[in-house]
Amino acid sequence: MIAAHLAAAVAIKGAVAQAPTWALLIAAVFLDILNPVLAIAGFDRAVVGQWSHSLAMSIVWSALLGTIFVWRGRTVALAVGLAVLSHFVLDAIVQSELPLWPGSSARIGLDLWRILPTGWWFVELALVAGGLFYYWNGLRKQRKLGMTAWALAAFVLIVHIFNAPWLAGVT
C-alpha cells in the first residue's frame, strides 16, 4: 500500500502547493515509520500497531505532525496532518484489523488483501492513478508541472509495480 500513501501525499501537494513535498511524503508514511519504533520500544505489535495505526492515535499523530508545521501557515499544517490521516483511511481499504483506539477490540477495515488476494493491487493502482492525476492537474493549474513532478510520479508508479503480489518472493 506504500504507493497509494505516496500518491495521497502528492495529491495533497497538488492542492496545497506551498506544503513541502518531503514533509507530505514523510507524513503519508509516518504511521509505518512509527510502528517499528513503537514495536521495539514494546508499545506496539509489529503487524498492526495499536499505538501507531488505530483511528484515535492516527488522529493524534495527525494533529502532532500538523502542529510541527503550523509555523508554515494553517493550510500547510492541515495538509501535513491530512497526509498522516490519509494513511489510516487507505489502510482501512486493504486491512481488516485496524483498531479504533489502543486496546480496543473493535476493528475496522474492508480486508481487500484477503477478499482480493491479487486484485487489491488493481484497487491500489486506481488510487495511485487518481492521486497522480490530482497532483498533475493541480501543478498544471499552478504552472509548476516540471521534471520534478514527472520524476516523482514515475517513482510512485515504480514503487507500485514492484509491490505487485505476483512479484512477491522474486529477488
Is the pLDDT higher at 145 or at 152?
152
Grid cell locating 75: 493550510
Q: Tens digit of pLDDT for each residue in 38-62? A: 888 888 766 667 888 899 999 999 9
Greatest alpha-carbon span in the chain: 48
Has residue 170 got a pLDDT over 80?
no
Q: Is the per-residue pLDDT at 101 higher than 50?
A: yes
Answer for the pair 77, 66: CB distance below 8 angstroms, yes or no.
yes
Using one digit for the tens of pLDDT, what is the confidence trace for 73-89? Answer: 999 999 999 999 999 99
State the Cα–Cα distance between residues 99 and 55, nearest whole angstrom: 7
pTM of the model: 0.90
**pLDDT for 38:** 87
d(CA 130, CA 124): 10
What's the pLDDT at 61? 96
Query: What are the structural domain ranges in the chain?
Result: 2-167
d(CA 8, CA 134): 9
Ramachandran angles phi, psi of 107, nearest 5°? -125, 150
Q: How far apart are CA 94 and CA 125, in angstroms?
A: 13
DSSP state of 49: -
Asked if residue 117 has pLDDT above 60, the reply is yes
The overall average pLDDT reported for the chain is 90
Percent of the chain with pLDDT strictly greater than 90 = 59
pLDDT at 171 over 50: no
- The candidate with the shortest Cα–Cα distance to 27, out of 68, 56, 55, is 68
Tens-place pLDDT, residues 6-21:
999 999 999 999 999 9
Helix axes 21-28 and 2-15, enclosed angle (nearest 10): 140
Which pLDDT score is estimated for 47? 64
List the single range of 8-17, 97-106, 152-161 with lowest mean pLDDT: 97-106
The per-residue pLDDT for 46 is: 61
Which of the four pLDDT bands, split at 50, 70 and 90, describes residue 169?
Answer: low
